[in-house]
Chains A and B, each alone.
Chain A
Amino acid sequence: MRDTPLSNCERDFLLKAIEEKKRLDGRQTYDYRNIKITFGTDYGCCFVDLGKTRVMAQVSCELVTPKESRPNEGIMFFNLELSPMASPAFELGRSSELLVKLNRQLERCLRNSKCIDTESLCVVSGEKVWQIRVDVHMLNHDGNLMDATSIAAIAALSHFKRPDVGIQGDEVTVYSAQERDPIALSIYHMPICVSFSFFQQGTYLLVDPCEREERVMDGLLMIAMNKHREICSIQSSGGIMLLKEQVLRCSTIASVKVSEITDLIAKALENDKKARKEGRKCGFAESMPQERITALKNLETTVEMTDLTKQASDIVEGVETPAEMALSPVVPAPGVGQVGAGLQNAWGLEDEEDDEDEEEEEEEDGDEPEVTIVAEKRGNKKKGERPVVIISDSEEEEVVILNPESS
């Protein structure tokens, strides 16, 4: 599937509007879209809505052997996926430039900045350490995937709790969530990415570009920063040339935005913690907006089942029992073997009998009548006296059966 190409008049309109300091959705130059952060039912699942851009991050952990060069440090693994759901241009399995860029930026932002204490993830030095795996899925692409991804990833890492581990001598016991409370990761700081898009060779700047604006931009500057005003990474792409003052101005804007976003994440985590402590249900189901006309919820319902067992029994009894199966193979004459003699011919039958014992997964597709149909008796093929069954459709007038010489 290909994305619809951008028309020239759309491009001209966008650029002209940007020159007049106007944006398509009415924002100001430095305004972010509405950010909404929700958490899933289990620890480590986070949904971020940046305007219409939607991203989901899931953190999971596993015990693995550590890298040889760092035997007492845990491993962080990032996996970003451009789901075909997010945009018709994304194809599954195709490693595009955008995917590599986003993956690399996420790694730089979170791993190289050492925001997570990896030494606390060590269980047995040199043998077992925790591998923390962050999977980010793009659900809807309306521009600025990187910012949404970094917010989702760091919020999910802050939300995640790993299982408790006990070490007694040589034995390592991993306790489940019911046995011992899981432990949160130790996070030093929260790096957040802020994207700046440049137009007309760096003359005009916009923060948090939407999808249309991204298509007409000349270059992108991504600054990852934490709330202590420390820059974790800077990346400029698109080949634009920026002045020193521009970059410094962007970093000042970024520090303001980052502190706002960090407050938002902290508030969302607080709310979630409070809700869980009160025992309220949390998750995607709860965060579904009720008042919208496109959403509907039904409470637990019972299904009336009077007479259903009787109906089922009737159906089962109505089916005729299949013909007796002969032990196979049958040897009617020396040198001749026969398998499946005297059975009903089931080939080419649309109706099927339902008396198979399913031990493994089975699939039946196509429109089948729901209850099983009585299997038609096709017992007209009495093989009777003949020792050998003729299976061929030969159009020869005479069929000669060569019998072996009776010994």
Chain B
Amino acid sequence: MEVCSSDGFNFNVTLREFGCEQSLLSRPDGSSSFIQGDTSVLAAVYGPAEVKVSKEIYDRATLEVVIQTKVGLPSVKERSQEQCVRETCEASLLSSLHPRSSLTLILQVLHNDGSLLSCFLNAACMAFMDAGLPMSCLFCGVTCAIAMDGQVITDPTATQEKESRALLTFAIDSTEQKVLMSSTKGSFSVHELQECIAISQKASEKIFQFYRESVQRRYSKTL
């Protein structure tokens, strides 16, 4: 994977090979699997469905996100990732169209080789599209890692993440390329933050193009 230097004007960063399959599970209303390099995640959406009275909101749908790892019980780290994903989804789903209903998103880690949070976000968006839930915009996740020498790497693998000085994940929306959510780890300067946001916005264009192509392919026989 190429890296970009931080003081040149013409440089490129790469995104790993990514793939997606929709509607692969028969029980959930929407399901998708998203693969970024070796990292793969399975997402399933149920909804709008019945909600428990204790959890119902009178004017919106209640969104619940569950992240399941392969081994062991979920820890605080999974809970914080769930919060990140939930907040992004709440920002883009039109939940006021389904009051007193529940939307459940379940994410299962199939293999973790870095950039897990952005893979969660991408899988979630594709699963929402597969379920046909109304959204005001699509969203995607991009992870940037800043190596010890200041180079910025997008979509890092697990080894690259471990050797990096900072790890930043941004959720970008499709209409105006705004940042919906950011989750960072490590220390970095103001300039590096802005650079990473700009890089993520540029990278998100590729991911949105991929979304469009896969939906186009999916409905090519019917439309």
**A41: interface (CB < 8 Å):** yes
Say yes or no: B195 contacts A303, CB within 8 Å: no
Q: Which residue of A lies closest to B73 (CB)?
A: A79
**A381: interface (CB < 8 Å):** no
User: Known contacts being A295-B20, A365-B87, A369-B178, is A137 close to B108, with CB within 8 Å?
Assistant: yes
Q: How many A residues touch B, CB cutoff 8 Å?
A: 72
With A and B bound together, what is the CA distance between A357 and B187 in angstroms? 7
Say yes or no: A309 contacts B35, CB within 8 Å: no
**B213: interface (CB < 8 Å):** yes
Q: Which A residues are CB-close (under 8 A) to B113?
A: 41
Say yes or no: B199 contacts A303, CB within 8 Å: yes
**B25: interface (CB < 8 Å):** yes
Say yes or no: A370 contacts B70, CB within 8 Å: no
**B49: interface (CB < 8 Å):** yes
With A and B bound together, what is the CA distance between A133 and B26 in angstroms? 29
Q: Which A residues are CB-close (under 8 A) to B8?
A: 309
Interface string of B200-220 (1 = CB under 8 A from A): 011101100010011001101
Say yes or no: A295 contacts B195, CB within 8 Å: no
Say yes or no: B70 contacts A84, CB within 8 Å: no
Say yes or no: A306 contacts B220, CB within 8 Å: no
Q: Which single member of A2, A83, A85 contacts B50 (CB below 8 Å)?
A: A2
From A105-113, A163-171, A195-203, A310-318, the one touching the partner chain is A310-318
User: Known contacts being A1-B49, A307-B9, is A298 close to B106, with CB within 8 Å?
Assistant: no
A367 smallest CB distance to B (angstroms): 6
Interface string of B122-135 (1 = CB under 8 A from A): 00000000000000
Say yes or no: B181 contacts A288, CB within 8 Å: no
* Cross-chain pair count, CB within 8 angstroms: 221
- Of the candidates A295, A304, A366, the one having the most CB atoms from chain B within 10 angstroms of its own CB is A295
Within 8 A of B (CB), among A301-352: 301-313, 315-316
Q: Which single member of B13, B20, B49 contacts A305 (CB below 8 Å)?
A: B13
With A and B bound together, what is the CA distance between A367 and B46 in angstroms? 25
B149 smallest CB distance to A (angstroms): 16
Interface majority SS (helix, strand, loop, mixed), chain A = loop
Say yes or no: A285 contacts B190, CB within 8 Å: no
Say yes or no: B27 contacts A312, CB within 8 Å: no
Say yes or no: B21 contacts A292, CB within 8 Å: yes
Say yes or no: B181 contacts A141, CB within 8 Å: no
**A238: interface (CB < 8 Å):** no
Say yes or no: A88 contacts B2, CB within 8 Å: no
Band of interface residues on B: 35 or more
Interface string of A17-42 (1 = CB under 8 A from B): 00000000000000000000000111
User: Known contacts being A296-B213, A313-B191, A366-B91, is A305 close to B104, with CB within 8 Å?
Assistant: no
Q: Which single member of A40, A58, A299, A304 contacts B71 (CB below 8 Å)?
A: A58
**A186: interface (CB < 8 Å):** no
Q: Which single member of A60, A301, A354 contacts B190 (CB below 8 Å)?
A: A354
Say yes or no: B19 contacts A300, CB within 8 Å: no
Q: Which B residues are CB-close (under 8 A) to A367?
A: 91, 178, 180
Q: Which single member of A42, A289, A303, A365 contacts B154 (CB below 8 Å)?
A: A303
Interface majority SS (helix, strand, loop, mixed), chain B = mixed
**A284: interface (CB < 8 Å):** yes
B61 smallest CB distance to A (angstroms): 13
**B63: interface (CB < 8 Å):** no
Q: Which single member of A135, A140, A362 contacts B26 (CB below 8 Å)?
A: A140
With A and B bound together, what is the CA distance between A298 and B207 in angstroms? 10
**B75: interface (CB < 8 Å):** no
With A and B bound together, what is the CA distance between A364 and B197 in angstroms? 13
Interface string of A81-96 (1 = CB under 8 A from B): 1011111100010000
Q: Which B residues are CB-close (under 8 A) to A362?
A: 182-184
- Of the candidates A2, A142, A293, A355, the one having the most CB atoms from chain B within 10 angstroms of its own CB is A293
User: Known contacts being A137-B70, A296-B210, is A142 close to B50, with CB within 8 Å?
Assistant: no
Q: Which residue of A lies closest to B195 (CB)?
A: A312
**B42: interface (CB < 8 Å):** yes
Q: Which residues of A contact B (CB under 8 A)?
A: 1-2, 40-42, 45, 52, 54, 56, 58, 60, 81, 83-88, 92, 133, 135, 137, 139-142, 283-285, 288-289, 292-313, 315-316, 354-355, 357-359, 361-372
Name 15 interchain pairs, CB-CB below 8 A, sorted by A: A45-B70, A84-B66, A85-B106, A88-B49, A140-B27, A140-B28, A285-B19, A296-B210, A297-B17, A301-B14, A305-B199, A306-B10, A309-B8, A354-B190, A372-B194
Q: Which residues of B contact A (CB under 8 A)?
A: 1-2, 4, 6-28, 31, 33, 35, 37-38, 40, 42, 44, 46, 49-50, 66, 68, 70-72, 80, 83-84, 87-88, 91, 102, 104, 106, 108, 110-111, 113, 154, 176-191, 193-195, 197-199, 201-203, 205-206, 210, 213-214, 217-218, 220-221
